[in-house]
Structure 1
Amino acid sequence: LRELHLSIFQHKYCDNYLLCAHQLEFKQRECIDLEERQSAQSCEKAIHEARSSIHGLELRKTELNRDCVRKNIAMAESIMDPSIVCFAIDFV
């Protein structure tokens, strides 16, 4: 009887152990997946913020160039040859 009880106990322990091991493995994989997704989301967010900053800086550079041209337009000299006629081409 004792051997039977010990055998059942060991078998039950094994089943529980295997179940726990599978659950643990599943949870570990979940954690890894979650970490990877969070890392990817964090990376995408950082890339988006960097691109937004770059666009902002490019816009500011364009505004500074425009302001410089407006400020100094009176001192500008034509570099175009008056004998050459330029035609505006409308790209549609």
Structure 2
Amino acid sequence: QDIISVVQNASVVDTSDLQTELEHTKECFGNCIIKKETEYAKLWNDWYKKCDECKYDKVSYDKAYKDMRQKIKRLQAQLRDLKGKSTDSACVSDTQNQLF
């Protein structure tokens, strides 16, 4: 009897310590989860802002590119007009020179 009672008493664990440790572990995990969720939310917000900036940059770039293409077309048209006028005036001056 005595041996059995000693073994039984030795194997009895104080569950209040285990419960306290379990609660502490759960609290630590909970804090880790909250920390990771906060980090994730920050990363998501940073990424989302960057996407918006990229969209804005692309819109700005597209507008600037379109404006530049229009300016180039206008300048090309002006150049054609100037070339046409210089050719016409060259013909006129040649004609006038031939008349004299």
Which letter maps to 1:12?
H
Offset from partner CA, 1:1-44 (integer Å, 9 cap, x none):
62111111111111111111111111111111111111111121
Paired AA for residue 44 in structure 1: Y
Q: Does 1:49 align with 2:29?
A: no
**Structure with bigger gyration radius:** 2
- Unaligned runs of at least 5 residues, structure 1: 76-92
With structure 2 as the length reference, what TM-score do the two structures score? 0.66
Aligned to 2:95: none
What is the aligned-residue identity percentage? 7
1: CA distance between counterparts of 2:22 and 2:58?
52
Runs of 4+ in 1 over 4 A off after TM superposition: none
* Number of equivalent positions: 75
1:28 match: 40
**Residue 49 of structure 2 is aligned with which of 17, 37, 53?**
37
CA distance in 2, matches of 1:20, 1:36: 24
User: Which structure has the highest helix share of the two?
Assistant: 2
1:6-17 equivalent positions in 2, closer than 5 A? 6-17=18-29
The alignment's C-alpha RMSD in Å is 1.7
